[in-house]
Structure 1
Amino acid sequence: MHGSMPVAPLRRPGISNDLNRRDFLVGGAAALLLAGCGGRAGGENDRESRTIEHKFGRTTIEGRPGRVVSVGFTDHDPLLALGVRPVGIRRWFGEPRRGVWPWARDELGDATPELLPVDSINYEQVAALEPDLIVGISSGMTRNDYDTLSEFAPTLPQSDRWPDYGVPWQEQTLVIGRAVGREGRARRLVSGLERRFEEARREHPGFDGATVSVIGTGDGLFYLYSTVDRSVKFFNSLGFRLPEEAARIAPDNRYYVEISEEQFGLVDADVLVCFSASPADEERIRSNRLFRRLDAVREDRVVYLSDNDDPLKGALSFNTVLSHPYLLENFVPRLARIVEEV
Structure 2
Amino acid sequence: MKSTAKTLVALIAGLLAVILAVSACSPPAEEEAAGGPIQVNTAQGPVTIKGTPKRIVALGAQWIDTALAFGVQPVAYLDNIQILTGAPSPWTADKLDGATALNPENLVADIAKAEPDLILAEGYMPTSQPADFAKIAKIAPTIPGVTGKQVDPWQDLVALLGTLLRQDGKAKQITDGVNTQIADFKKELPGLAGKTYAMAYMFSTDQIQVMADPDDGAAYLFNELGMKVAPKLLAEFEKTKNPRFPISVENVPMLDADVLIVTANTPALQRALHALPGYSNLRSVQNGAVADLSVADISGLNQPTPLAIPYLLGKLKPAFTKAVK
Question: Which residue of structure 2 lines up, in the alignment, with residue 178 of structure 1?
Answer: 163
From 134, 138, 143, the equivalent of 1:156 is 143
Q: CA deviation at 1:97?
A: 11
1:176 to 1:152, Cα distance in 2 relative to 1, 3 A: same
From 255, 263, 288, the equivalent of 2:251 is 263
Q: Does 1:214 align with 2:199?
A: yes
Indicate the SS of the match to 1:151.
Answer: helix
From 293, 306, 312, the equivalent of 1:321 is 306
Task: Tell me, in whole angstroms, the C-alpha distance in 1 between the residues paired with 2:34 and 2:282.
Answer: 55
Q: CA deviation at 1:16?
A: 5.4
Of 5-14 and 189-198, the range deviating more from structure 2: 5-14
Of 82-91 and 191-200, the range deviating more from structure 2: 191-200
Of 71-80 and 135-144, the range deviating more from structure 2: 135-144
Q: Does 1:244 align with 2:228?
A: no
Q: CA deviation at 1:231?
A: 3.3
Question: Which residue of structure 2 lines up, in the alignment, with residue 235 of structure 1?
Answer: 222
Question: Which residue of structure 2 lines up, in the alignment, with residue 102 of structure 1?
Answer: 90
Task: Tell me, in whole angstroms, the C-alpha distance in 2 between the residues paired with 1:317 and 1:91.
Answer: 14
1:171 to 1:83, Cα distance in 2 relative to 1, 3 A: same
Task: Tell me, in whole angstroms, the C-alpha distance in 1 between the residues paired with 2:267 and 2:85.
Answer: 22
Q: CA deviation at 1:132?
A: 0.8
Contact 2:291 2:315 in 1 (8 A): no
Question: Which residue of structure 2 lines up, in the alignment, with residue 284 of structure 1?
Answer: 272
Q: CA deviation at 1:337?
A: 2.2
Indicate the SS of the match to 1:66.
Answer: coil
- Could you say what the CA RMSD is over the residues aligned between the two structures, in angstroms? 3.3
Task: Tell me, in whole angstroms, the C-alpha distance in 2 between the residues paired with 1:5 and 1:233.
Answer: 25
1:97 to 1:301, Cα distance in 2 relative to 1, 3 A: closer
Indicate the SS of the match to 2:229.
Answer: coil
Q: Does 1:6 align with 2:6?
A: yes
Task: Tell me, in whole angstroms, the C-alpha distance in 1 between the residues paired with 2:109 and 2:199.
Answer: 38
Contact 1:44 1:185 in 2 (8 A): no
1:16 to 1:321, Cα distance in 2 relative to 1, 3 A: closer
From 45, 49, 67, the equivalent of 2:55 is 67
For residues 66-95 of structure 1, the C-alpha deviation after alignment (integer angstroms, 9 at most, x for no partner) is: 111112232111101112110111132358
Q: Which structure carries more helix by proportion?
A: 2
2:154 aligned partner, one-letter code: W
For residues 157-185 of structure 1, the C-alpha deviation after alignment (integer angstroms, 9 at most, x for no partner) is: 1135313xx11111111112222332331
Q: CA deviation at 1:325?
A: 1.6
TM superposition score normalised by structure 2: 0.84
Task: Tell me, in whole angstroms, the C-alpha distance in 1 between the residues paired with 2:194 and 2:170.
Answer: 33
1:238 aligned partner, one-letter code: L
Question: Which residue of structure 1 lines up, in the alignment, with residue 103 of structure 2?
Answer: 117
Of 244-253 and 146-155, the range deviating more from structure 2: 244-253
From 268, 284, 300, the equivalent of 1:296 is 284
The correspondence of residues 37-116 of structure 1 with structure 2, limited to 5 A, is 37-40=25-28, 47-94=35-82, 100-105=88-93, 108=95, 111-116=97-102
Give the fraction of aligned pairs with identical amino acids, expressed as a percent.
24
1:335 to 1:239, Cα distance in 2 relative to 1, 3 A: farther
2:207 aligned partner, one-letter code: L
Mind listing any 5+ residue stretches in structure 1 that lack a counterpart? 20-24
Task: Tell me, in whole angstroms, the C-alpha distance in 2 between the residues paired with 1:234 and 1:131.
Answer: 33
1:121 to 1:234, Cα distance in 2 relative to 1, 3 A: farther
Task: Tell me, in whole angstroms, the C-alpha distance in 2 between the residues paired with 1:121 and 1:68.
Answer: 18
Q: CA deviation at 1:5?
A: 8.4
1:212 aligned partner, one-letter code: Y
2:125 aligned partner, one-letter code: G
1:289 aligned partner, one-letter code: P
Task: Tell me, in whole angstroms, the C-alpha distance in 1 between the residues paired with 2:142 and 2:82.
Answer: 27
Task: Tell me, in whole angstroms, the C-alpha distance in 2 between the residues paired with 1:245 and 1:55.
Answer: 36
Indicate the SS of the match to 1:8.
Answer: helix
Q: CA deviation at 1:96?
A: 10
Contact 2:8 2:84 in 1 (8 A): no
2:50 aligned partner, one-letter code: E
Of 126-135 and 90-99, the range deviating more from structure 2: 90-99
Task: Tell me, in whole angstroms, the C-alpha distance in 2 between the residues paired with 1:46 and 1:114.
Answer: 30
Of 123-132 and 146-155, the range deviating more from structure 2: 146-155
Q: CA deviation at 1:294?
A: 1.9
Contact 2:194 2:226 in 1 (8 A): yes
Question: Which residue of structure 1 lines up, in the alignment, with residue 211 of structure 2?
Answer: 225
Mind listing any 5+ residue stretches in structure 2 that lack a counterpart? none
Question: Which residue of structure 2 lines up, in the alignment, with residue 193 of structure 1?
Answer: 178
